[in-house]
Amino acid sequence: MKNNILLNLTVLLVCTSLWHPGLKGQTGVSGTDSPAALESAAPEITALKGAETIAVGNFINISSKNEFNYLESILPTALASSLSTKYKINIIKPKEIEKILKVKSLEKYTEQDLHNISSYIKSKYFVYGSFEPQKNNKIKTVIHVYKVSSSSIFTFTDEGFREVEIFSLIDRISTHIKNITNPAMVYKSENLKQNSRLAVLTNIQGEDLNRLYFEIMNKGHKLNSFQGSSIYNNIEKEDIDKLHYISSETASFRKIHDKNTIELYYGTWSGESHFKDIKEQQGIYEKYTLNYSIMDKKTFAAINKAAPDKIDYLLIIRFNKNKKKAWIRCVNLNTRSLIFSSAEIAGKSVNDVAQKILALISS
Amino acid sequence: MLYKKFTKNIILITVIPFFMLSCSTKKGLIHTSAKLPSQAKVGIVIDSPNNLKNAVLVTFMNEGFRVKAFNASDLYSMEDIYDIKDMKKISYKIKDKKASEVSAFEKAYDNIYKLHFYNYELNKASTLQQIRSNWDVDFLIVLDLKDWENVSWARVINLRTLDIEFIENYPTKYNDNIETIITHFAKNIISR
């Protein structure tokens, strides 16, 4: 009898572990699959942990108004303090970074110096930025978040009032940094508006694409035909990875290129046709490498007007092979701004992943 | 006795989830956004041999649709996707690079590809608008028919708004044929 009870208990426990969705191994933003967790998916963004260590660098005044130079020391110090006290992130302070980089003659650095700087900074992320005073007592900040030793950088802008209100701006920036430095690399600047019109670019097709569409339409959104007018999807996994990087008005995630790989030699020895050729190559590099962000913004404006009634948002979703994980970018096409980005959202199926994406963007 | 009970339970634990999983993968779905007018002027996109295409068109006509003389296998044009003439000018002079450094060339290459994906969809949007004006088609019906144990699906696009207005995934049954599947889709599209 005792054995029977024990056996039944064991079976019950095994059943529970098989069927309790919350006990299934999941990674990413989602955490658990239960309906209740789906409902509360959005607040989890703020509950994401940031990186263990972040180095905070310079914040440069890019305006000609020298009376605001005092913010060059206040902004990074306040940000370091906010990250440390609010999110318990170990900070390498701006003064320490300045000291280290001064020895290496790297006090003034740009994006191209980051790989070099990586050798001297013992943290997982390096944050630096710039600011510009605006009209109406406001200040615009541009913040760069660089994963040390990597080849990519996340940049976002935020605006707030100066003086007393500046600390709420700092808090917002530190929340963004904490979310971006999480392994799920989450960035969210605004909610997806209800009943808006969406266009979707993804690497799934046919019945799976219908599943994704189903969840979007069920939420009350209008769906532009975009990829939906084709039977087959021409964008494969490797292709959609080209859309991994994105540039927008307010935020961008981009590759850091090495300027030294551009070699366009010419001189008195080169003839007219060679010079013409060089100029053409220079134009291509300028358009597609150096100033590429202009192209992305132009494209977003074109997609916005691609239908008789404007398309409000572009969703780029890249599913993995078993379609249980996806990375996502969401662009507000009216403002050409990246409003949501995540490196990984996990679920049980295409429908589940889609539901989680919509819950995260909408709430 | 104890062993037998244990085995029975284990079998149940193993079989039931698999049974439920196999059912769930074949789940159908349907969503409609707006009513399709009766006798709507439609174009059909389906990738099938001509004799099967005819069977599809006739079935739609029998259900009251005004099927227009537009018959496409898909909306592809490889030239639209792989028109990468800019690449020929920068296809050389790449130095060896360190693991974490991205060459300017690589960045240009990826960005050009990226633009082609965006532009392809933009071209398709203008193609859809041409279909509406050139063939006098109001709705485009995109279909993919599958055998038993697979899922046939349909989408309806309103060519005035370019919005998707109907989607359905229909798990094909054992005794289904082209006519029964198309009749099923047609009835669902019409009865909205």
Which residue in chain A is spatially nearest to B33 when comparing CA positions?
A217
Candidates A128, A164, A163, A157; CA nearest to A141 is: A157
pLDDT at A329 over 50: yes
Q: pLDDT-derived band of residue A7, with 50, 70 and 90 as boundaries?
A: very low
Residues 6+ apart with CB under 8 A from A261: B94, B95, B97, B101, B103, B104, B105
Mean pLDDT of chain A: 84
Residue A13, chain B, CB below 8 Å: the answer is no
Tens digit of pLDDT for each residue in A63-85?
999 999 999 999 999 999 999 99
CB A89 within 8 A of CB A50: yes
Lowest mean pLDDT across A28-42, A199-213, B176-190: A28-42
Rounded distance between C-alpha atoms, residue B172 and residue B178, angstroms = 10
Cα A96 from chain centroid (whole Å): 28
pLDDT for residue A301: 95
Which residue in chain B is spatially nearest to A309 when comparing CA positions?
B161
| pLDDT > 90 in chain A, percent | 58
CB A124 within 8 A of CB A93: no
Q: Which residue's entry shows tokens 């974490």?
A: B100
Single-letter residue type at B8: K
Rounded distance between C-alpha atoms, residue A353 and residue A344, angstroms = 10
Q: What is the mean pLDDT of residues A285-313?
A: 91
Shortest Cα distance from A206 to chain B (angstroms)? 7
Residue with more model confidence, B26 or A154: A154
Q: Which residues pair with A131 in a beta bridge?
A: A61, A141
Single-letter residue type at A211: R
pLDDT for residue A11: 40
End-to-end CA distance of chain B: 58
Residue A58: Cβ within 10 Å count: 18
Angle, alpha carbons B171-A217-B67 (nearest 5°): 65
Lowest mean pLDDT across A38-42, A165-169, A172-176, A335-339: A38-42
pTM, full prediction: 0.82
Shortest Cα distance from A243 to chain B (angstroms)? 6
Residue A36, chain B, CB below 8 Å: the answer is no
Rounded distance between C-alpha atoms, residue A248 and residue A174, angstroms = 21
End-to-end CA distance of chain A: 52
pLDDT for residue B63: 86
Q: pLDDT-derived band of residue A38, with 50, 70 and 90 as boundaries?
A: very low
Q: Which residues of B touch A265 (CB under 8 A)?
A: none
Residue B70, chain A, CB below 8 Å: the answer is no
Tokens representing residue A165 in the block: 């209100």
Which residue in chain A is spatially nearest to B48 when comparing CA positions?
A231
In degrees to the nearest 10, what's the CA dihedral of A70, A74, A77, A81? 170
Nearest to A303 among B112, B122, B144 (CB): B122
Residue contact B102–A303, C-beta within 8 A: no
Tens digit of pLDDT for each residue in A236-269?
777 888 899 999 999 999 988 877 777 787 777 7
pLDDT for residue A81: 95
pLDDT at A308 over 70: yes
Residue A278, chain B, CB below 8 Å: the answer is no
Quote the ipTM score: 0.78
Residues 6+ apart with CB under 8 A from A309: A197, B161
Tokens representing residue A68 in the block: 């605001």
Angle, alpha carbons A139-A144-A150 (nearest 5°): 180
Q: Which residue's entry shows tokens 């060519």?
A: B159
DSSP letters for A183-222: TT--EE-SPPPTT-EEEEEES--HHHHHHHHHHHHHTT-E
pLDDT for residue A115: 86
Going residue by residue through chain B, which has 192 residues, state the pLDDT in tens, using 9 for 90 and above. 445 555 555 554 554 444 444 444 568 999 998 778 778 899 998 888 888 888 888 898 888 889 987 766 666 544 444 444 444 444 444 444 444 456 777 888 888 888 888 988 898 898 889 888 888 899 999 999 999 989 999 999 999 999 999 999 999 999 999 999 999 999 898 864
pLDDT at A338 over 80: yes
Residue with more model confidence, A41 or A59: A59
CB A80 within 8 A of CB A56: yes
Size of interface A-B (CB pairs under 8 A): 198
Residue B77, chain A, CB below 8 Å: the answer is no
pLDDT at A43 over 50: no
Mark out the alpha helices in chain A (DSSP H runs): 2-19, 35-39, 43-47, 71-87, 94-103, 114-118, 166-180, 206-218, 237-240, 272-285, 292-304, 350-362
Lowest mean pLDDT across A179-193, A194-208, B82-96: B82-96
Residue B29, chain A, CB below 8 Å: the answer is yes
